Chain A
Amino acid sequence: MSSRTVKAFFPSISTLLYCFALLLPESGLAHSFGEPYQLPMPYWMYIYGAMAALILSFVVLALFINSSSAPPERFQKTWTSRRAYQFIQCFRLIGLIKTLVCGSFLLALVAGLIGSGDSYRNFNMTFFWIVFALGGVYLSALIGDWYAHFNPWKILANSLPGFQQARITYPTRLAYWPALMLYMGFIGLELFGDIKPFSLSVSLLIFTAIQLLGCFLFGSKHWFHYGDFFAVMFRLSALMSPCTLHQQQIDKQNPALTLTLRIPFSGLLNQRPEHFSLLVFLLFMLSSTAFDGLRETALWFNLFWKDPFNILTPLLGRNPIYEYVMLRPWYIGFESLTLVISPFIYLGLFLVFLWLGKIITASKDSLLTLANQFAFSLLPIALVYHITHYYTLLLSQGVKIRGLISDPFGWGWNLFGTAITGRIPVLPDMGFIWDSQVWLILIGHVASVWIAHFEALRYFPSHRKASLSQLPMLALMVLFTGAGLWILAQPLQG
């Protein structure tokens, strides 16, 4: 297969899931599954958060104004234990966890195909959307890249003969574009798909076929590095984790387990995107969550349906809301287009503010070089956007997995006696949720400013230039943080 054929082939399969989402007849206006139950943040909190972000930015700058500050890597602590490794080996823990992950996916697949059509009674919806897709990100950000060891598709591909060896050399220019397109498909499916247990299982089967095809063509090592968007997303999240766990070979006979504790987010230092596509990927992590928040607001809904700029009304002869049924596919198209271009809007903003920094510091480096230097400093903001938007789902819906294990097909079973009690959600007080949202967003903001400032101190030849370069970056981060808070404070469509 020629390189051109490969390039032509990939956009078609990577958009498959997305097209599948758009073709579904009952595409709704909300998430396909699980509604975050939070209320719009009070306006005073948004104002407070934006002011605090500004204040904290300058405090971080002042605290780390010179490079004599100890590098964060110095505060890393590592423990190596042969006994811990032997314990894992003795109880075959790795194998057990692999079996558990693969078994859960298999159960999810089967439950979707033969179980109840009720999304809240079938195991597969809660398992895939909440436990795996949301919980997986947070687990990576907490304990490191667990998915690299327990990726169920990797386990499947590596157990099949012929899926590890590459038949075609992975084209360099393809880079992370397949992962980005699959990621867009996944978000499209989540937002517009109106996915039910059965269609989720069908989507998972299609995704499994794509994963296996990728492995068959490029070998599992390359595919799971570049093509599997879950692998890329979890790997990026893991860079922010306060600890990592890995096997270390002390000598041939003595493998050991190494636990490393580090300052949260410090794993982002000295990291660079290998390719421009990875920069767009991480910007999509940021923009897709912001878009998901925005589209739930009354402001976004009214922008199209109330036509405040009087664009559609003259064409239709009356307000678009009266042509709801006819215009709904157009609305979904409008939203899909916005979703697809959203990372490029963020990219444009990022480059504009970098260009300002380049002008101020009279840097001779290209914008792309500067973008690579500071790209990963945006990841903390992306992570906290994600957490503030979705974490209540883990509490309201995620805890129900305990009950669903007792009745995975929704047939009224009670295998472990948890079917009823497990359905009661944890509903923290809304005041607590708002407080946590503001402080999480501020923590992410401070972490981003901190990472960017350390990178600047290492990159620019003088402290003055490093600090000057950070003024536009600071403005950009305040803008992103303010936008995140503003979205959380908007009235929701109802």
Chain B
Amino acid sequence: MSRSLRLLLIIATVALLGGLWLGLKPQTTQISSDNCCELRWENGQKSGPDTIRVTQGDNVEIRIFSDSDNAVHLHGYELHREIPAGETAIMALQAEHSGRFMLELHNGDIVLAYLEVFPANQ
């Protein structure tokens, strides 16, 4: 294959891949946001949503009740709240980082839920 033909092939490939990218990429994606939710830890059982889905930039408030002394940690955001027995801790944040973050109850390493923050422009 001649050099010019190779160059032409590479340019055509780059153009095709670029065109496909632009053609397939949606302009906006709507994510239904659950910006406020309550999670409960009672008698060794959890209740509430397994996944909290929000869009990047949203203000989120998560209320966590525990019937025993506990602590809750949101990985990635590195937010930590102590929960005295029988009380509700409030974790409020602006979802500035996109990704999937584990909300973990430290006594027993229980995964309470995942916070999924979707980028606004994908």
Contacts and interface: CB of A to CB of B under 8 A. Distances in A.
**Are A and B subunits of one complex?**
yes
Interface of A: 30, 35, 37-39, 42, 44-45, 47-48, 51-52, 55-56, 59, 62-63, 65-66, 118, 396, 423-425, 427, 429-431, 433-434, 492, 494
Given A44-B26, A431-B121, A39 B100 contact: yes
A425 B17 contact: no
Contacts of A433: 99
B72 to A, nearest CB: 14
Nearest to A434: B122
A87 B115 CA distance: 51
A390 to B, nearest CB: 14
B9 interface: yes
B97 A427 contact: yes
Contact of B118 (A48, A118, A430, A494): A430
A429 B1 CA distance: 41
Contact of B76 (A37, A48, A59, A118): A37
Interface residues of B, number: 35
9 contacts: A37-B101, A37-B102, A42-B29, A48-B20, A59-B13, A63-B6, A118-B106, A427-B97, A494-B116
Contacts of B118: 39, 430
A339 to B, nearest CB: 22
B46 to A, nearest CB: 13
Residue in A30, A48, A118, A430 whose Cβ sees the most chain B Cβ within 10 Å: A430
A423 B21 CA distance: 37
A430 B120 CA distance: 10
A441 B97 CA distance: 24
B99 A62 contact: no
Contacts of B116: 39, 494
Given A52-B17, A62-B1, A38 B122 contact: no
Interface string B1-16: 1000010011001001
Contacts of A63: 1, 6, 9-10
A429 to B, nearest CB: 6
A55 B10 CA distance: 11
Contact of A429 (B24, B29, B98): B98
Contacts of A52: 17, 20
B51 interface: yes
Nearest to B98: A430
Contacts of B10: 59, 63
Interface in B1-53: 1, 6, 9-10, 13, 16-17, 20-21, 24-26, 29, 50-51
A477 to B, nearest CB: 17
Contacts of A39: 98-100, 116, 118
Contact of A55 (B13, B29, B111): B13
A290 B100 CA distance: 19
B97 to A, nearest CB: 4
Contacts of A396: 75-76
A48 B122 CA distance: 14
Given A425-B76, A430-B98, A51 B25 contact: no
Contacts of A429: 98, 119
Nearest to A63: B6
Given A52-B20, A434-B122, A30 B111 contact: yes
Contacts of B75: 35, 37, 396
Residue in A30, A51, A429 whose Cβ sees the most chain B Cβ within 10 Å: A429
B1 A37 contact: no
Contacts of A62: 1, 9
A424 B97 CA distance: 13
B121 A44 contact: no
Contacts of A56: 13, 17
Contacts of A30: 111
Give the 8 A-B residue pairs with the shortest CB-CB distance, closest first: A430-B98, A494-B51, A37-B99, A427-B97, A494-B50, A44-B24, A494-B114, A431-B119
B78 A423 contact: yes
B92 to A, nearest CB: 19
A459 B9 CA distance: 26
Given A37-B100, A63-B6, A55 B16 contact: yes
A30 B75 CA distance: 15
A48 B21 contact: yes
Nearest to B25: A44
B31 to A, nearest CB: 10
A66 B2 CA distance: 11
B20 A38 contact: no
A431 B100 contact: no
